[in-house]
Amino acid sequence: MGEIMFPILQDPVLSAVPWSILAPHEAQAQRNHSQTLRTLANRGGLSPCEALAIIEDRSWRKEYQAYARAKVLTYVWQAEKAAIIAQQETNNASA
């Protein structure tokens, strides 16, 4: 079973990101949107600019769409890389 995904709006390339990227920043979602991540997802999701602001624990500001998309994807890549390294270390420790 795959990871739960959070919908991304208004982007021709990026349609969703792993929920785990946004979950640690729930409080920032509340500050920026006065809504939980669950409510935001049920309402259709966030734009890449909105998602980036939440991930970076800051207020929303207008960003170039391509810049926001690239930054969000960088955070996704960093999280996936960290998970792979942790799994490799676990495998090496049990070998």
- What is the reported pTM? 0.88
Q: What is the pLDDT of residue 91?
A: 85
The predicted-structure confidence for 32-68, as pLDDT tens digits, reads as follows 999 999 999 999 999 999 999 999 999 999 999 999 9
The long-range contacts involving 39-42, CB below 8 angstroms and separated by at least 24 positions, are 41/6, 41/7
Can you give the pLDDT at residue 1? Answer: 46
Q: What is the pLDDT of residue 88?
A: 86
DSSP three-state, residue 59? coil
Which has the higher per-residue pLDDT, 7 or 86? Answer: 7
Report the C-alpha gap between 67 and 81 in whole angstroms. Answer: 21
More confident residue, 80 or 7: 7
